[in-house]
Chains A and B, each alone.
Chain A
Amino acid sequence: MTSRLRGRPLVRTSYAQDMALLNTPAKRRSTIALIVVSFLIPFMVTDDLLLVLTLGMISAVGAIGLNLVTGYAGQVSLGHAFFIGLGAYTGAVLGGDTDAAVTGYGLPIYVWLPAAGVVAAVAGLLVGPIAVRLRGLYLAIVTLGLVFLGDHIFREARTLTGGPGVGRRGPDLVIFGIDMGESGVVLGLDLAREQRQFLMALVFLIIFAVLGRNIARSGVGRAFSAIRDRDVAAAVIGVDLTKYKVMAFAMSSFFAGVTGALYYAVVGVFEPSAFGLLLSVQYLAMILIGGVATISGAIMGAIFISSLGRISGEIAHVLPFISESSGSGGLLSVFQLEAILYGVLIIVFLIFEPRGLFGIWTRVRNYWKGWPFSY
């Protein structure tokens, strides 16, 4: 039944084949090639670029999470920053060290990383029921309110967060006895800090990307899509709206929590103002620019948006009217250029390429697939 026809790789003889993780030979080969190349990157690229890519890959985990709730299930969430913040602080409190200002329990990563995800997921479970009562833009504004309430809580809980302007350190990254914050020989390879962190982030990204893809292609994912496309119709064909909307929020928040804990473990010191509305907008930008309701799109978008700071720095070298400090010289500073690029890119992509980077990729692929014909 599941036999394949020789020489006809695109013919599928069963539903399972159609829904497989990598359902075409081309996808199989290119994915393997991509993973191999990714593992070689840390040995070819300079350390400062590696850090940018590392943070991009960790953000990608959160972007996949947001894509589950906003892209697949169609529930607009501006509250992603709140869940990321919850994860970051859970990780920092459980995995960090106690000092004069803040508490920390110094637990290993096997405890704080899952805990960060679970705490955020529980918060998502609590928000879920509100989401069930509300639709569309009402939900967007309520989740926006969540960010402001969260911001207030993070500011006030000084023994946990360090408070505004002070902040605290993230947890220590030690996996299997290997400290990601130090350089040295691992398994016969001399790895610098950035190389270790890059490889760690890559492994986590692969795990969560496969997890996300599996959720999306399973019955749960199809229930999400049904709710997004028409919730009344979904309810009529037997999709339990309450259950699946709550699930979408909980799953997405789990991803967000993991991202928060890992991201700030790599960054080091962070303070409550990091989890404002801008962070939520950045994550929305990641999935909109990358491609809504695609896992690979979310990854592309996350890496692209995370590199935007670096890209605008490079632009500043080239264009004389952009100053490289935050002072008042020049027409725009680097930070302002970065922020303006978010805005402009969101507008341009939504107007001209609503399917994002993934859409561009699809068009390029289809051009060569159909070559020399145009369709």
Chain B
Amino acid sequence: MTDFLQAIVNGFSQGSIYALLALGYVMIYKATRVISFAQPALMIVGGLFSYHFTSELGLPFWVGMALGIVCGAVVGMIVERLALRPMLGKPVFTLAIITIGVDIVLRIISNRYIGVQSRIIDYPNGSDRVSVGGVSISQQRIGLIAVTTVAVIALALFFRYSRTGLAMRATALDQETALAQGIRVGAVFALAWAIAGGLAAIAGTFVAAGNAGIEQTSWIIALKALPAIIIGGLDSVQGAVIGGLAVGIVEALTATFQPDVAPWLGANFSLVAPYALMFVVLLVRPYGLFGTKEVERV
């Protein structure tokens, strides 16, 4: 039972990273109808900015992270302006492939920075653990869950109450009508990419603050947010959060129990468990748990 609860807690904290990334995917999808495969690179770049500000320049963790978020957001906006704005109105598939190209380029550049060692950010008292009834969690993970919660609530309030949030919702609903109402759709696209870049930077910072730090292979983590958004439904904000947490928890549960229960699935099955879960969900619900069904008009 303790194993089970521990797995849930571990999965919840790892799932928070997926949820942050998944929110980024959903932001971009809702605004531009494109799935950005550049998210892994944005996560790495954002995390590396935070690393540079904290570990190299010696700024405090939270200041470094704030600067990292700003830089991540700026990178997101630059990508949108240079690679995606010229392609406005082209098929979404083309745009998605362009983001793959962007991802490759950004990742090669950041790999040059990373080199062979892993880049680890020191979280203040990060390895101290809080223990309740045999289940323990590190300070760093508590910080992650807290930051994720704040980010999700802030985004929800932003969309619900601010004028810009309203403009973004209108653009998501119908671009031409939004344009006719005087909304600057281009600015909305840029903002969506900035938010996605910022969220990815938060995720990257906490990946770097984890035990393994950021290595050349860390970008794989961000791809696990893809099953999360598919499970939650591509255009649903709460779906992204729930999907991300679900993927994290399923991964942790498989890591804990699969070696004993189903060893024939092979070592490290937990790494691909999110994709297996995605197949199951899609067979039952083709538009995810919370996604809007596409309506066919002839």
Kindly identify, within residues 188 to 209 of chain B, every residue whose CB is under 8 Å from any CB belonging to chain A: none
Kindly identify, within residues 207 to 235 of chain B, every residue whose CB is under 8 Å from any CB belonging to chain A: 223, 226-227, 229-230, 234
B100-A138 in contact (CB<8A):
no
B93-A76 in contact (CB<8A):
yes
A134-B286 in contact (CB<8A):
yes
Which listed residue, A156, A277, A350, touches B267 by the CB 8 Å rule? Answer: A156
Chain A count of residues within 8 A CB distance of the other chain: 43
Which listed residue, A135, A233, A340, A354, touches B104 by the CB 8 Å rule? Answer: A340
A136-B92 in contact (CB<8A):
yes
Residues from chain B with Cβ under 8 Å of A332 in the complex: 108, 112
Residues from chain B with Cβ under 8 Å of A189 in the complex: none
Would A134 and B282 be within 8 Å (CB), given that A343-B103, A354-B94 are in contact?
yes
Would A336 and B97 be within 8 Å (CB), given that A136-B92, A152-B272 are in contact?
no
A281-B112 in contact (CB<8A):
no
Kindly identify, within residues 95 to 154 of chain A, every residue whose CB is under 8 Å from any CB belonging to chain B: 130, 133-138, 140-142, 144-146, 148-149, 151-153
CB distance from B234 to the nearest CB of A (A): 7
CA distance in complex: A7, B275 (Å): 61
The answer, yes or no, to whether B159 is at the interface (CB within 8 Å) is no
Which listed residue, B97, B104, B266, touches A350 by the CB 8 Å rule? Answer: B97
Query: Interface 1/0s, chain A 146-169, versus B by CB < 8 A?
Result: 101101110110000000000000
CA distance in complex: A339, B98 (Å): 14
CA distance in complex: A151, B111 (Å): 23
A336-B278 in contact (CB<8A):
no
Which listed residue, B104, B229, B266, B275, touches A155 by the CB 8 Å rule? Answer: B266
Residues from chain A with Cβ under 8 Å of B279 in the complex: 130, 142, 145, 149
B83-A347 in contact (CB<8A):
yes
Would A232 and B298 be within 8 Å (CB), given that A346-B101, A350-B87 are in contact?
yes
B298-A138 in contact (CB<8A):
no
The answer, yes or no, to whether A344 is at the interface (CB within 8 Å) is yes
Which listed residue, B93, B276, B297, touches A136 by the CB 8 Å rule? Answer: B93
Q: List 22 A-B contacts (CB under 8 A).
A: A76-B93, A130-B279, A130-B283, A133-B282, A133-B283, A133-B286, A137-B34, A138-B286, A140-B93, A148-B223, A148-B271, A152-B266, A155-B268, A281-B100, A284-B100, A328-B116, A336-B108, A336-B112, A343-B108, A347-B102, A350-B97, A351-B98
The answer, yes or no, to whether B105 is at the interface (CB within 8 Å) is yes
Would A148 and B272 be within 8 Å (CB), given that A141-B230, A346-B100 are in contact?
yes
B298-A340 in contact (CB<8A):
no
Kindly identify, within residues 270 to 296 of chain A, every residue whose CB is under 8 Å from any CB belonging to chain B: 277, 281, 284, 288
Residues from chain A with Cβ under 8 Å of B104 in the complex: 281, 339-340, 342-343, 346
Residues from chain A with Cβ under 8 Å of B115 in the complex: 328
Chain B count of residues within 8 A CB distance of the other chain: 49
B223-A144 in contact (CB<8A):
yes
Among B94, B108, B116, B266, the one with the most A-chain Cβ atoms within 10 Å of its Cβ is B108
Residues from chain A with Cβ under 8 Å of B94 in the complex: 350, 354
Query: Interface 1/0s, chain B 141-169, versus A by CB < 8 A?
Result: 00000000000000000000000000000
The answer, yes or no, to whether A236 is at the interface (CB within 8 Å) is yes
A137-B35 in contact (CB<8A):
yes
CB distance from A201 to the nearest CB of B (A): 28
Q: Closest A residue to B272 by CB, please name it.
A: A152
CB distance from B255 to the nearest CB of A (A): 14
The answer, yes or no, to whether B296 is at the interface (CB within 8 Å) is yes
Which listed residue, A134, A145, A155, A336, touches B227 by the CB 8 Å rule? Answer: A145
Among B35, B97, B283, the one with the most A-chain Cβ atoms within 10 Å of its Cβ is B97
Interchain Cβ contacts within 8 Å, total number: 124
CA distance in complex: A148, B276 (Å): 10
The answer, yes or no, to whether B174 is at the interface (CB within 8 Å) is no
The answer, yes or no, to whether B96 is at the interface (CB within 8 Å) is yes
CB distance from A71 to the nearest CB of B (A): 11
B105-A344 in contact (CB<8A):
yes
Q: Closest B residue to A332 by CB, please name it.
A: B112
CA distance in complex: A373, B294 (Å): 48
Among A140, A236, A343, the one with the most B-chain Cβ atoms within 10 Å of its Cβ is A343
Q: Closest A residue to B111 by CB, please name it.
A: A336
Would A344 and B298 be within 8 Å (CB), given that A145-B279, A149-B272, A336-B112 are in contact?
no
B97-A346 in contact (CB<8A):
yes
Q: Closest B residue to A336 by CB, please name it.
A: B108
Q: Closest B residue to A328 by CB, please name it.
A: B115
Kindly identify, within residues 43 to 89 of chain B, every residue whose CB is under 8 Å from any CB belonging to chain A: 83, 86-87
Q: Closest A residue to B264 by CB, please name it.
A: A156
A130-B282, A141-B227 given. 8 additional CB < 8 A pairs?
A76-B96, A134-B282, A141-B278, A145-B279, A155-B266, A340-B109, A343-B108, A354-B90
Q: Closest B residue to A74 by CB, please name it.
A: B93
Kindly identify, within residues 238 to 293 of chain B, every residue whose CB is under 8 Å from any CB belonging to chain A: 265-269, 271-272, 275-276, 278-279, 282-283, 286-287
Residues from chain B with Cβ under 8 Å of A342 in the complex: 101, 104
Residues from chain A with Cβ under 8 Å of B108 in the complex: 332, 336, 339-340, 343
Which listed residue, A137, A141, A153, A336, touches B93 by the CB 8 Å rule? Answer: A137
CA distance in complex: A84, B272 (Å): 20
A347-B92 in contact (CB<8A):
no
Residues from chain B with Cβ under 8 Å of A339 in the complex: 104, 108
CA distance in complex: A135, B94 (Å): 15
A152-B101 in contact (CB<8A):
no
CA distance in complex: A232, B296 (Å): 8
Among B101, B105, B223, the one with the most A-chain Cβ atoms within 10 Å of its Cβ is B101
Residues from chain B with Cβ under 8 Å of A138 in the complex: 230, 234, 282, 286-287
CB distance from B28 to the nearest CB of A (A): 11
CB distance from A149 to the nearest CB of B (A): 6
